[in-house]
Amino acid sequence: MLPELDAQLDGDEADLLRTVLGDLADQVAKALGDNLVGVYLKGSFALGSGDVHADVDFLVVTREELDTDEESLIREIHRQLPDRPEHWAHNLEGSYAPVDQLHERADPNQPWLYVDNGQREMELSTHDNTETFRWVLKNRGLAITGPPAESLLNHVPTQVLRAEAAELAVQRRDDALADPEYLENGWGQPHEVLTQCRMLYTASTGRVAGKNQAARWCSAVLPPEWRGLLDAAIVDRPNPWERVSTAADPRWTDLTRSFIKEMTPRIVAASISPLVDGD
């Protein structure tokens, strides 16, 4: 199962992650029965850029929306998963989506049952109901169980994907600049820099890349004045659970604000310019 993990993790870590994902799929199958279509890996590991510090992004696809009993069983599964000894069980993040909604364009008003990284309690969230998510699942999604992920979704038009990146850039600029604590946080500051890079990469190329790949690409295409900030964000990415309780390096906080302000119009302009090579 999931041989793609072997190129991203050493043997022991890959096997531990396969064990956690396999057990999750087994428990979900027992809870949902015939309502289960499949369980899929998305995010960094699907993009081939996962490492020991990455979140484990997953999607469970169902035939119909969960009924009350099914939802109760799923919530209990995720309450108990963090009790497992494997650190991967604490890094699971994902949604439960009906297959007919995956066929449709992203709907910011349609939440799915969602568990955030390391949490025990689930919520209704639109976190994964995006075109970016659909692109990754369609083009890179890995089946833990069920039919190939690409068979479950329609093609995501390139311009739809690029337009979403531009819209998100404007939203993130407004939210990030209004939240000084986020940009002064040891996790938030580098995370925002890498997210800005991913948005520019998608708006420019019509594809989705992992955070580090997008940052290295940006380092080659942006003015040299930003390279120190980008390199620091890549270096600061490991150990996010430790960094979330620390302060950001003050050298980068104000520079990150300036970076966001410059990146937003770049991303918007890139989304309506000719496509460029992302390699």
138-189 confidence digits (pLDDT tens): 999 999 999 999 999 999 999 999 999 999 999 999 999 999 999 999 999 9
Q: What DSSP string runs through 89-141?
A: GGSEEEEEEEHHHHTSPP-TT--EEEE-TT-SS-EEE-TT-SHHHHHHHHHH-
Average pLDDT of every residue of the chain: 95
Asked whether the predicted pLDDT for residue 192 surpasses 80, the reply is yes
Question: What integer pLDDT is reported at residue 89 of this predicted model?
Answer: 95
Asked whether the predicted pLDDT for residue 263 surpasses 90, the reply is yes
For a pLDDT cut of 70, what percent of the chain falls above it? 98
- Cα–Cα distances in angstroms (integers) from residue 36 to residues 26, 31, 48, 161, 165, in the given order: 11, 9, 26, 28, 31
Residue 12 one-letter amino acid: D
List, edge to edge, every strand of the sheet that includes 92-98: 123-125, 112-115, 92-98, 56-62, 36-41, 142-145
Question: What integer pLDDT is reported at residue 95 of this predicted model?
Answer: 98
Question: What integer pLDDT is reported at residue 47 of this predicted model?
Answer: 95
Q: Does the domain at residues 3-152 carry the CATH identifier 3.30.460.10? A: yes
Mean pLDDT calculated for residue range 21-36: 98
Residue 178 one-letter amino acid: A
Mean pLDDT calculated for residue range 10-32: 96
Question: What integer pLDDT is reported at residue 14 of this predicted model?
Answer: 96
Mean pLDDT calculated for residue range 54-75: 97
Question: What integer pLDDT is reported at residue 239 of this predicted model?
Answer: 66
Cβ 40 vs Cβ 59: under 8 Å: yes
Question: What integer pLDDT is reported at residue 241 of this predicted model?
Answer: 67
Question: What integer pLDDT is reported at residue 53 of this predicted model?
Answer: 87
For a pLDDT cut of 90, what percent of the chain falls above it? 92
Asked whether the predicted pLDDT for residue 245 surpasses 90, the reply is no
Taking the whole predicted model, whether its pTM rises above 0.85 is answered as yes
Asked whether the predicted pLDDT for residue 130 surpasses 70, the reply is yes
Q: What is the DSSP letter of 57?
A: E
Asked whether the predicted pLDDT for residue 230 surpasses 70, the reply is yes
Q: For residue 243, what pLDDT band results from cuts at 50, 70 and 90?
A: confident
Ordered by start, the domain boundaries in the chain are: 3-152, 158-270
Question: What integer pLDDT is reported at residue 202 of this predicted model?
Answer: 98
Residue 276 one-letter amino acid: V
Q: For residue 32, what pLDDT band results from cuts at 50, 70 and 90?
A: very high
Mean pLDDT calculated for residue range 100-125: 96
Asked whether the predicted pLDDT for residue 238 surpasses 70, the reply is no
Q: For residue 278, what pLDDT band results from cuts at 50, 70 and 90?
A: confident
Dist. CA 138–CA 134, nearest whole Å: 6
Specify the 3-state DSSP secondary structure of 22.
Answer: helix
Q: Which long-range contacts (CB under 8 A, 24 or more apart) does 219-228 make?
A: 221/276, 226/259
Asked whether the predicted pLDDT for residue 84 surpasses 90, the reply is yes
Q: List the structure tokens of 272.
A: 């309506």
Q: What is the DSSP letter of 56?
A: E
Residue 187: phi and psi, rounded to 5, are -95, -45
